[in-house]
Amino acid sequence: MVPGHPAAQYAPGMPAPLGKTPTRKMPDIQVFGRDDSSATRAALRFFRERRIVVHYVDLRKRPIAAGELQRFSQRFGAAALLDETSRPYRDQGLAHLTLDDAGIVRRVLADPRLLRLPLARHGNAVTVGLDEATWIGWLKPGGGP
């Protein structure tokens, strides 16, 4: 890397961040997660390495809308949205409760730390957790929703 070059300030091997406006036809991808989640960081890195601009929603700063959460719940079932390995899941004793889908959605809306992250959306197609195989399909020509 040439010193003084604009890209010299970034880590070697990592592409420079993309601007806010895409320069070519890019898929409209939305990622919901938290900055402290390694899975969310991996998802953002996956798209950044492929030079894809994503709309990232940090759930610590802005909660997920009930309608948006319902989209994921309808596709996978509300139980699939829960991160059973998370501390809030254990602290709230959810392993010992039987909740219906509406109860799970209410709990997740009240405490987004219960979500299995990241939640990714491309049109009507959605994924929960790391799902690189599906994301690669989204990026192929004609591979959209």
Instruction: Give me the CATH number covering residue 50.
Output: 3.40.30.10
Query: How many domains are there within the chain?
Result: 1
Question: Is 126 within a domain?
Answer: yes
Full domain range(s) for residue 59: 28-139
Cβ 55 vs Cβ 81: under 8 Å: no
Q: What is the pLDDT along the chain (145 residues), one digit of tens a residue?
A: 556 555 555 555 555 565 565 545 667 899 999 999 999 999 999 999 998 989 999 999 999 999 999 999 999 998 888 877 777 766 776 655 667 778 778 888 888 888 899 999 998 999 999 999 999 999 887 766 6
Q: DSSP secondary-structure letter at 1? A: -
